[in-house]
Amino acid sequence: MFGLGPQELIIILVLVLIIFGAGKLPQVGGALGKGMRNFKKGMSDSDEESEEENQRIEDKEKED
């Protein structure tokens, strides 16, 4: 995972806890999770559109 070891992850988590505090941590985690889901959904939608476009191009070449 991005070349980060367990020690680096612990340091990052401690810094996030210090910066945002324990009360805001669930909100930050939720927002991060939603952002990642939206990003993955956008990437998969983009892949589907690319496949559809490639299929249309192939169909057009077969007609010619």
Q: What is the pLDDT of residues 7-64, one digit of tens each?
A: 998 998 899 889 888 888 888 889 989 999 999 998 888 888 888 888 888 888 887 6
Q: What is the pTM of this model?
A: 0.53
pLDDT for residue 58? 84
What sign does the CA torsion over 8, 13, 16, 21 have? negative
Domain ranges of the chain: 38-64
**The predicted structure's pLDDT at residue 23:** 87
- Residues contacting 12, CB < 8 A, separation 6+: 4
